[in-house]
Structure 1
Amino acid sequence: MTWKRDGFESHEGEVGVVLADGTEPGPVYFDLGSGGHFHESTDWWAYDGTFRRPTAMALRGRCACGWRGERTFPIDWQQVDSHDPDAYDISGPERDWEAHLDEVAARAVPLPEDLVVLLRQLHERLDELVDDHPLAVVKAAGELEAAVAFFGPLAARMVTRSEQLPLAHVAEVLGMTEQAAGSRLRHYEYMDR
């Protein structure tokens, strides 16, 4: 199970595990029978010590950006239902990840309020139209694509040509990882070519 928040796609969160020595293990592998391919997993419940897999002692939140929660939550393996591990309480790690995302969002550049209102109204109006007038939505999508194709490359070029905006800063104000920010800038920068 992963956690996501709209607008912060490069910050996908999940439950991480900690071993007794304080380290975070790599993926575990499952031999599903004959064949050269082994399924791998980083799902927290896979670290239960069976079949010589490591035994996790605690849970913590973790994020695709590399963030790891400082707090750990002990695992009571007696309370984990092997047939339904999702029933186990993982709310602590999830709350920590949510707090991490709140911090990321606080550092991100806010959109002007009038633009937030316009975008919300646009989403609502397109949602109203899609069932009864899908061609109108297709036409509106084309108009939006034209606006993105014009303004996206213009803005991306302004950002990439600014020597005062290192990629780390761009990533922070966009609320994403450096890799995702660089990818987004390149996507828009070369969109019209």
Structure 2
Amino acid sequence: MGWRRERFESHEGEVGVLLADGSEPGPVYFDIGSGTYVHESTDWWVYTGELRRPTATSMRGRCACGWRAARAFPIDWQRVDPADLTAYDVSGPLQDWEAHMDEVAARAVRLPEDVAGLLKRLYERLDELVDDEPLTVLRAVDRLEAIVGVYGPMAARLVTGIGEAGGGMVRVAEALGMTEEAAGSRLRHYRYLDF
């Protein structure tokens, strides 16, 4: 599992690697038996050069949205412990991804303070109630779903029109703080809730 930031989950980050020529390698495939399934991985630590795998010479931060960090950090394979991969320092790529996420968050639409406050208080109150009064929480969630059922489709149809007219899904995804794929999926989900 990669790096995630709350409220921006579709922008999952991870360590990416580069080969000596500066290119980014494709996945490494593992044939683990005689079945038809072949496991693949893009985890940074599989690019060791062993067993005909490509050899990564450096690492950088990358994101599910397609973003790649400009900075690259050399990989010292002599210091990588296969038994404890978390001991190897990947803080540089992580810091770059965090900076990317700060930019994503800055471009996302801001909720009005009163709406953000209401949502925060509702979350906190439901959290207080859930253990002792789960039926009350279910009743509240039912009311929330009714609200989503009214306003989700309405907003999704309006946003779909905006996306088609000016900037496409890139603009919508940026405003929602999501990848284009996640934004498209979210719009389709809300758009057809009332059918």
TM-score normalised per structure 2: 0.94
CA distance in 2 between partners of 1:38 and 1:109 (Å):
41
Q: Which residue of 1 aligns with 2:174?
A: 172
3-state SS of paired residue (1:56)? coil
Distance change (3 Å), C-alpha of 1:186 and 1:143: same
**1:159–1:165 Cα contact (<8 Å) kept:** no
1:175, distance to aligned residue in structure 2 (A)? 1.2
Q: Count residues in correspondence.
A: 193
Q: What RMSD, in angstroms, separates the aligned Cα atoms of the two structures?
A: 1.3
Q: Which residue of 2 aligns with 1:85?
A: 85
Q: Which residue of 1 aligns with 2:53?
A: 53
CA distance in 1 between partners of 2:166 and 2:27 (Å):
40
Q: Which residue of 2 aligns with 1:75?
A: 75
CA distance in 2 between partners of 1:142 and 1:37 (Å):
41
1:118, distance to aligned residue in structure 2 (A)? 1.2
1:49, distance to aligned residue in structure 2 (A)? 1.0
3-state SS of paired residue (2:68)? coil
List per-residue Cα deviations over 1:27-49 (Å, max 9, x = no partner).
10122233332211111000111
3-state SS of paired residue (1:132)? coil
CA distance in 2 between partners of 1:36 and 1:187 (Å):
33
Contiguous gaps of at least 5 residues in structure 2: none
Q: Which residue of 2 aligns with 1:17?
A: 17
Summarize the alignment of residues 7-156 of structure 1 with structure 2, pairs less than 5 Å apart. Answer: 7-156=7-156
CA distance in 2 between partners of 1:158 and 1:122 (Å):
27
After superposing the two structures, state which structure 1 stretch, 180-189 or 85-94, moved more. Answer: 180-189
**1:3–1:12 Cα contact (<8 Å) kept:** yes
Distance change (3 Å), C-alpha of 1:149 and 1:165: farther
Contiguous gaps of at least 5 residues in structure 1: none
1:165, distance to aligned residue in structure 2 (A)? 6.1
After superposing the two structures, state which structure 1 stretch, 26-35 or 15-24, moved more. Answer: 26-35
CA distance in 1 between partners of 2:59 and 2:136 (Å):
48
CA distance in 2 between partners of 1:178 and 1:17 (Å):
23
**1:153–1:188 Cα contact (<8 Å) kept:** yes
CA distance in 2 between partners of 1:165 and 1:157 (Å):
16
Distance change (3 Å), C-alpha of 1:134 and 1:99: same
3-state SS of paired residue (1:14)? strand
